[in-house]
Structure 1
Amino acid sequence: MKNILILTLAALLLGGCSGPGPVDPVQPGDWRGVLTLPGGELPFSLQLKQDGTEWMAVLVNGDERVEVTDVTVNEQQMTLVLPAFNTRIDARRDGAGFSGTLTLVKRAGKQQHIPFVARPGEEYRFLRVQPESYVDVDGRWAVTFREDDGSESEAIAEFEQTGNVVEGTFLTPTGDYRFLAGEVDGNQLYLSTFDGSHAFLFTAKLEGAQLQGDFWSGTAWHESFVARRDANAALPDADELTQLVDEQFTFSFPDTDGNMVSLDDPQFDGKVVLVALAGSWCPNCHDEAAFLAPFYHQYRDQGLEIVGLMFEHLEDFSAAATQVIAFRDKFDIGYTLLVAGSSDKQRAGETMSMLDRVYAFPTSVFIDRNGNVRRIHTGFNGPGTGRHYDQLVAGFTETIEQLLAE
């Protein structure tokens, strides 16, 4: 009996020392990612792709595809890094999936840490089971957002609904909320996006003719909102929101190597100059850069120069310059990028004192060959806004071609 007990104990000890069994290899394909915000779960679609030992990931929000090439995947961990946003996901293997943390870097380098999980083979977004009934939210809506302190702002929502699947965006005077995707269940609307910077969750209920809901961004931002269908809803003219208060528009900032560049430099003499106030942290600025990079190559030989004044979350010059370089590399930008200062709008406004304020990133200043400011456009409607993006591109092109022809 004693020998049996000893053998049993030895077997248990050996079993305990042997560690966990083999872990199944990570499979490429469709995954469902979930971020946990104070307002609930924010789902997004995640595609993992493998080419030999190399991995890449694609974040999917409706029609949007955000490619992530700095990816590490093995049987124990997964890491996704988006250097242009200074964003990363670090996760450990958890059964068949992964669990870990999304780290977002905000103003002044403050970090938000958001719980993250991913599960393989799950292609649904919010609803695993198709609902038996659902309301119709298709169309254009006039929206009022209310912050927790009671202050309000106006916006427009445009939704396209197919069955119970909804895609769309919110347009605001400072830019759009990019590609939102989700579903309707009964009278409940759910929308989300995660594009590497925005971590947005919208939930709403249709009561009569009015949508009432909540908007969560990351770990710290919350607004409630109400919306009513209004085919004629309009926002303020984006060319009237920022005004020139000094006849002379000028600047002098360092490039990423620390060399000072001024609008008075010979490279800008007799040129049409488009000055874009932007930031690598700003998704709308990414949309603008994706348009401006090829636009510059198209019109450079006709006398166009573009300068991006980059207002960054990281105030240390070296750290800010690193972010600007990552932004430049992402879009293969050939025009001038300068490190202009803090992303805080009040401080940016003090830096750009020839403007009455810095109301939004991006803000685009059009300057003719004689150095005169001819137009200031606030915000940017990106590809997620459909026809509004097409109209913006046409308007920018018309302005530049007119100035080049003078």
Structure 2
Amino acid sequence: MNIKNLIYSILTFFVLLTVACQTTNTTLNRGIWRGALIHETGAEVPFNFELKDSLGKWQMFIMNGQEQFKVDDISRENDSIFIKMPLYDSEIKGIITDNKIEGYWVKHLADKDVKMDFVAQYGVNWRFKDQLEPATQNITGKWATIFTNLEGKDTTLAIGNFKQEGNLVSGSFLTPTGDYRYLDGVLDGDELSLSTFDGGFAFLFTAKVSGETLSEGKFYSGFSSQELFTAKKDENATLPDAYSLTYLKPGFEKVDFAFPDMNKKPVSLKDEEFKNKVVILQLLGSWCPNCMDETAFLSNYIRQNNFDDVKVLGLAYERTADFDKSKANLQKVINRFQVPYPFLITGYTNKKGEPAKSLPMLNAVMAFPTMIVIDKQGKVRNIHTGFNGPGTGKYYEDFVKEFETLISTLRKE
């Protein structure tokens, strides 16, 4: 071996030795992180979360506006981390390396798994950008909004309802069948960016703001869905009446069914326990974020009031007709919200047409959730399609007042 090759071999040895002696930092740090899910288009759907260590047990708090979504099923194996969401049958799997987590978010659907790339950086408390240009507009207020698909069809009317303080923006979009929950974002100069991730759904909205107009709007949803939107500021913007969309067919006054509870015991409104009671039927699915908001509301209402003449029944339409799988997903909902009322497993899925088959006296089941309020004589008095959760501010507060007034009136009859 000549001297040149010898020197090269020695240098190579020391380089390899140095690399071998280096250790990767797999410490999982407590504190604020910035996470991002990567949409099929390459767009980032960002969110912030905090990791805490409570008596040796890791907890994650996903932050969207005023909401902090708690996740406490977190485990580690060497440099790997597994974060199972308490709802929606989804999880994050990643590798911890030098204050970063890289991996993917997987959502288990009825017939397949789908996933998005996931990255997170420790110690980053901004959501969209570290340095923002001063906001040149203010979008506080109501916005009449039109969503369309990429082909310009399938129009959906909505209302944007926002609050802005400096660069920071919060609020939500409301549609005739529900809302997009807590949205958190910024106005960077004239560029609006809003996002949310709740463990089951990932949304990103971007648009240009000019005076009282939102243009070039793009809505990224989940793994690959994309829509366009435009909006104009309009404090008088309204949506179709949520009490008019679903109704009884002519000739019907009552709802009738027999579905099994979680223990496979058949339950019907003809059962003795529902006679001379105000009954609230909740049509829901464990996969539905607006349903979770409504479940939280109904659970709190029953716990706070504990009326002996008011009953709530949840009619579940899962993404599978498999009883045991449906039961497992619904049990997570019960545990999450400490639900004080029973869920019935209808055996029908949420596929178009199936829910209406289960309750043929209805014109349609247009959205989840749908709430049916029945008086003490067993007659349907009110059907509310969709649910506007606490992220919608005044819309949620108005619904709560309407609901409480109705139940109070029916109890006195």
- TM-score by shorter chain over 0.5: yes
Task: Provide Cα deviations, 1:350-404, integer angstroms capped at 9, x if missing partner.
Answer: 2221110011111100011111001111111111011111111111111111111
SS in 1 for 2:407: helix
In the alignment, which of 379, 391, 397 is matched to residue 390 of structure 1? 397
Q: For 1:394, give the aligned amino acid.
A: K
The share of aligned pairs that are identical, in percent, is 38
Distance 1:321 1:185, change over 3 A: same
Match of 1:307 in 2: 313
SS in 2 for 1:238: coil
Following superposition, the deviation at residue 67 of structure 1 comes to 0.4
**Partners of 1:134 and 1:164 within 8 A in 2:** no
SS in 2 for 1:359: coil
**Partners of 1:288 and 1:382 within 8 A in 2:** yes
In the alignment, which of 171, 179, 195 is matched to residue 168 of structure 1? 171
Alignment of structure 1 residues 112-123 onto 2, 5 Å: 112-123=114-125
Q: Give, in whole Å, the separation in 2 of the partners of 1:187 and 1:311.
A: 42
Do residues 214 (structure 1) and 218 (structure 2) align? yes
**Partners of 1:311 and 1:348 within 8 A in 2:** yes
SS in 2 for 1:302: coil
Alignment of structure 1 residues 225-236 onto 2, 5 Å: 225-236=229-240
In the alignment, which of 321, 324, 335 is matched to residue 329 of structure 1? 335
Following superposition, the deviation at residue 179 of structure 1 comes to 0.5
Match of 1:82 in 2: 85
Q: For 1:297, give the aligned amino acid.
A: R
**Partners of 1:83 and 1:323 within 8 A in 2:** no
**Partners of 2:90 and 2:105 within 8 A in 1:** yes
TM-score normalised to structure 2 length? 0.92
Match of 1:38 in 2: 40
Q: Give, in whole Å, the separation in 2 of the partners of 1:17 and 1:66.
A: 40
**Partners of 1:75 and 1:93 within 8 A in 2:** no
Following superposition, the deviation at residue 168 of structure 1 comes to 0.9
Match of 2:370 in 1: 363
Q: For 2:372, give the aligned amino acid.
A: V
Distance 1:209 1:391, change over 3 A: closer
Following superposition, the deviation at residue 2 of structure 1 comes to 8.7
Following superposition, the deviation at residue 194 of structure 1 comes to 0.3
Alignment of structure 1 residues 219-298 onto 2, 5 Å: 219-245=223-249, 246-298=252-304
Following superposition, the deviation at residue 138 of structure 1 comes to 1.9
Task: Provide Cα deviations, 1:60-98, integer angstroms capped at 9, x if missing partner.
Answer: 011111000111246612221113211111111233210
Match of 2:325 in 1: 319
Give the superposed CA RMSD: 2.3
Bigger mean CA deviation after superposition, 73-82 or 188-197: 73-82
Q: Give, in whole Å, the separation in 2 of the partners of 1:133 and 1:142.
A: 21
**Partners of 1:92 and 1:100 within 8 A in 2:** yes
**Partners of 2:259 and 2:267 within 8 A in 1:** yes
Q: Give, in whole Å, the separation in 2 of the partners of 1:109 and 1:356.
A: 29
Match of 1:126 in 2: 128
Following superposition, the deviation at residue 298 of structure 1 comes to 3.8
5+ long unaligned stretches in structure 2:
none
**Partners of 1:91 and 1:100 within 8 A in 2:** yes
Q: Give, in whole Å, the separation in 1 of the partners of 2:211 and 2:412.
A: 54
In the alignment, which of 371, 374, 379 is matched to residue 381 of structure 2? 374
Alignment of structure 1 residues 16-31 onto 2, 5 Å: 18=20, 21-31=23-33
Match of 2:64 in 1: 61
Q: Give, in whole Å, the separation in 2 of the partners of 1:5 and 1:52.
A: 56
In the alignment, which of 183, 188, 192 is matched to residue 185 of structure 1? 188
**Partners of 2:280 and 2:313 within 8 A in 1:** yes
Q: Give, in whole Å, the separation in 2 of the partners of 1:16 and 1:187.
A: 50
**Partners of 2:179 and 2:388 within 8 A in 1:** yes
Q: Give, in whole Å, the separation in 2 of the partners of 1:121 and 1:402.
A: 52
**Partners of 1:56 and 1:69 within 8 A in 2:** yes
**Partners of 1:141 and 1:157 within 8 A in 2:** yes
In the alignment, which of 403, 406, 410 is matched to residue 399 of structure 1? 406
Q: Give, in whole Å, the separation in 2 of the partners of 1:52 and 1:78.
A: 18
Q: Give, in whole Å, the separation in 1 of the partners of 2:400 and 2:35.
A: 33
Q: For 1:159, give the aligned amino acid.
A: F
SS in 1 for 2:124: coil
Q: Give, in whole Å, the separation in 1 of the partners of 2:263 and 2:10.
A: 69
Following superposition, the deviation at residue 314 of structure 1 comes to 2.7
**Partners of 2:170 and 2:185 within 8 A in 1:** yes
TM-score normalised to structure 1 length? 0.94
Task: Provide Cα deviations, 1:220-239, integer angstroms capped at 9, x if missing partner.
Answer: 32210110000100011111
Q: Give, in whole Å, the separation in 1 of the partners of 2:16 and 2:134.
A: 54
Following superposition, the deviation at residue 206 of structure 1 comes to 2.2
Distance 1:295 1:52, change over 3 A: closer
SS in 2 for 1:399: helix
Q: Give, in whole Å, the separation in 2 of the partners of 1:110 and 1:257.
A: 27
Q: Give, in whole Å, the separation in 2 of the partners of 1:51 and 1:334.
A: 27
SS in 1 for 2:254: coil
Q: Give, in whole Å, the separation in 2 of the partners of 1:184 and 1:10.
A: 52
SS in 1 for 2:61: strand
